[in-house]
Amino acid sequence: MTVMSRESEARMVKWAKDLRERKEPFFRPDVVESKVRIQFPIPLVAKVLEILSEYHAFSDQHSARVRLAVLKLSGGDFKKVRQEIDAAKLDFREVLLPAEEPGILRMRAGAWNELSDDEKEKLSNEDHTQYMDWILQKE
């Protein structure tokens, strides 16, 4: 098991916080609705929003974050919205990690600990970029 230095741990905490803070302004109900309207035809919008509303968290911001993850993972497939929201209701981490950090998720078990701080930061930034590209996509 790799032991992390205090400096390394502090650096990781700082950049993880920075990445999270850059995403947080988008964790809002209006962004969720906008993404639904982009991904689904008009006749399905109300039904998708209804399904998404089944997920409730400890804050509106967290609910929006999980709902956005569900939408991203659904890829515009109505049936997958139901599957992903059901998974989120059991454990929200089941949708957050694959939506927000797919690069990290694809790593084999234990591989993260073998990376240098720079490699970890690079991978986290790549995951952040792919997520923000999806959030900001207008069509």
Per residue in 58-106, pLDDT tens?
999 999 999 999 999 999 999 999 999 999 999 999 999 999 999 988 8
Structural domain boundaries of the chain?
6-136
What is the average pLDDT across 38-49? Answer: 97
* Averaged pLDDT score across all residues of the chain: 91
- SS (HEC) of the chain: CCCCCHHHHHHHHHHHHHHHHHHHHHCCHHHHHHHHHHHCCHHHHHHHHHHHCCCCCCCHHHHHHHHHHHHHHHCCCHHHHHHHHHHHHHCCHHHHHHHHCHHHHCCCCCHHHHCCHHHHHHHHHHHHHHHHHHHHCCC
What is the average pLDDT across 33-42? Answer: 97
Res 110: pLDDT: 78
Res 2: pLDDT: 52
Res 84: pLDDT: 98
